[in-house]
């Protein structure tokens, strides 16, 4: 352990801690844009500068380890003036369009500009103008809003191990981009979006769906693989508008492409909304389905109908109505009860089988097998994915 003084108060901190971490651990906040506790310190944004007795010039707190007897000053008029100037420089090359920015209200840069009261900027001049190159359907890259904090580059390399992006060029021309400035071609895990301190990286799917202040956050568990990642569903008007994850969870706040972007099925208009009863004769559709599966061309035509919003209803109606009619819950329950009872009487309970779902909750699976065992009277209950 190391003894040190921060802003006149004595603290101890473990060896190897950075001044920034030591200060934060004791509730002293130092502004920063490029620091992330799970990534290597970078010292890029220059906002966490502090004065240390015996060192002539201010140093960055995130890259300076604590030493015995160190005396740190985190706030004084000189440091604040430097920070203010640094922020002004960053903002001089940042589009002033918070009113339409997805990130407004949840943006570290905006927060800092507010607290430093930056409205006028002394350094207005040449701006970096980027041509957008992103045909990818998931990650919106608005590089004019990028402040080169390097967090996305580090998370991609250090956490995800993909190294899809890096900083190219130098000085004023520096920019974060994939190799040869091509379009993004990566795992689309969205880790970079999660760490971006500005609106430079956002999800395309959540454009104009609602900013953070309008959002109700509900914690739940991801419905895809078995990792059991914790998701926070961001809900607005009975719709999931995006998915985030808390950092104090089993997945440490990281998600994959499916966890981040795979939620749209919930609000998909093709969801079933009413019980259906078959009207088409059976077996005739064995051929129908098989040919449907095999004829790529026909299939893709059919599906393009679904994706084209206007003709959505029509295509669904034709798909349903040739096979099924809508019914009430009472009607279908009566029908199922009648059929199951009859088949059970005629052929015995073991002539009824069932498949449960690895998608459903424990409680639902429990009730399902209880239903089959206690009500139908058979142990014919399995699920496809039990291996």
| Minimum CB–partner distance for residue 331 and another protein (Å) | 9
Contacts of 99 (CB under 8 A, 6+ apart): none
| Minimum CB–partner distance for residue 120 and another protein (Å) | 40
Q: In what order do the strands lie in the sheet with 49-52?
A: 9-13, 2-6, 70-73, 49-52, 59-60
Cα–Cα distance, 113 to 145 (Å, whole number): 14
DSSP codes of every residue in 222-263: -SSSTT--EEEEEEETTEEEEEE--SSSTTTT---HHHHHTT
Among candidates 197, 170, 165, which has minimal Cα distance to 182? 165
How does 41-56 read in b/e, with b if 16+ C-beta sit within 10 Å? bbbbbbbbbbbbeeee
Of the pair 172, 265, the CB lying nearest another protein is at: 265
DSSP code at position 220? E
Of the pair 30, 229, the CB lying nearest another protein is at: 229
| Minimum CB–partner distance for residue 95 and another protein (Å) | 25
| Minimum CB–partner distance for residue 169 and another protein (Å) | 27
Among candidates 307, 225, 223, 303, which has minimal Cα distance to 266? 223
> Rounded to a whole number, what is the largest CA-CA distance in the chain?
94
Cα–Cα distance, 212 to 356 (Å, whole number): 37
| Minimum CB–partner distance for residue 205 and another protein (Å) | 5
Task: Name residue 235's beta-bridge partners.
Answer: 216, 240
| Minimum CB–partner distance for residue 45 and another protein (Å) | 24
Of the pair 97, 326, the CB lying nearest another protein is at: 326
CB 172 within 8 A of CB 203: no
Of the pair 116, 368, the CB lying nearest another protein is at: 368
| Minimum CB–partner distance for residue 373 and another protein (Å) | 6
Cα–Cα distance, 285 to 295 (Å, whole number): 15
| Minimum CB–partner distance for residue 154 and another protein (Å) | 13
Of the pair 111, 382, the CB lying nearest another protein is at: 382
Of the pair 99, 289, the CB lying nearest another protein is at: 289
Of the pair 76, 264, the CB lying nearest another protein is at: 264
| Minimum CB–partner distance for residue 314 and another protein (Å) | 15
Of the pair 110, 230, the CB lying nearest another protein is at: 230
| Minimum CB–partner distance for residue 271 and another protein (Å) | 5
CB 48 within 8 A of CB 22: no
Of the pair 168, 276, the CB lying nearest another protein is at: 276
Of the pair 30, 255, the CB lying nearest another protein is at: 255
CB 46 within 8 A of CB 62: no
- Torsion sign (Cα): 108, 110, 114, 120: positive
CB 358 within 8 A of CB 385: yes
């Amino acid at each position: 352990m190391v003894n040190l003084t921060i802003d006149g108060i004595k603290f101890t901190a473990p060896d190897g801690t950075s001044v920034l971490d030591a200060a934060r651990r004791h509730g002293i906040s130092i502004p920063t844009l490029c620091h992330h506790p799970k990534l290597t310190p970078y010292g890029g944004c220059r906002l966490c500068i502090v004065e240390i007795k015996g060192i002539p010039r201010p140093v960055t707190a995130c890259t300076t380890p604590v030493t015995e007897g160190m005396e740190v000053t985190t706030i004084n008029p000189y440091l604040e003036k430097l920070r203010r100037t640094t922020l002004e420089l960053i903002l001089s090359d940042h589009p002033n369009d918070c009113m339409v920015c997805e990130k407004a209200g949840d943006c570290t840069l905006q927060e800092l500009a507010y607290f430093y009261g930056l409205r006028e900027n002394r350094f207005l001049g040449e701006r970096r103008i980027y041509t957008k190159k992103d045909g990818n359907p998931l990650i919106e890259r608005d590089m004019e809003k990028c402040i080169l904090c390097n967090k996305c580059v580090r998370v991609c390399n250090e956490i995800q191990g993909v190294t899809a992006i890096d900083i190219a060029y130098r000085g004023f021309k520096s920019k974060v981009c994939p190799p040869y400035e091509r379009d993004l071609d990566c795992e689309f895990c969205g880790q970079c979006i999660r760490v971006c301190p500005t609106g430079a990286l956002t999800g395309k799917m959540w454009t104009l769906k609602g900013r953070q202040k309008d959002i109700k956050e509900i914690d739940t568990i991801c419905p895809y693989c078995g990792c059991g990642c914790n998701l926070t569903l961001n809900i607005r008007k009975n719709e999931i508008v995006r998915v985030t994850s808390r950092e104090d969870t089993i997945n440490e706040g990281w998600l994959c492409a499916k966890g981040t972007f795979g939620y749209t099925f919930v609000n998909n208009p093709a969801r079933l909304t009413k019980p259906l009863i078959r009207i088409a004769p059976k077996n005739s559709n064995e051929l129908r389905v098989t040919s449907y599966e095999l004829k790529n061309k026909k299939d893709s035509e059919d599906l393009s109908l679904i994706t084209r919003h206007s003709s959505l209803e029509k295509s669904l109606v034709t798909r349903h109505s040739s096979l099924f009619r809508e019914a009430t819950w009472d009607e279908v329950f009566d029908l199922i009860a009648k059929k199951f009872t009859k088949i059970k009487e005629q052929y015995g309970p073991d002539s009824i089988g069932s498949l449960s779902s690895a998608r459903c909750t424990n409680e639902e699976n429990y009730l399902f097998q209880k239903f089959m065992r206690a009500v139908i009277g058979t142990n014919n209950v399995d699920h496809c994915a039990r291996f």
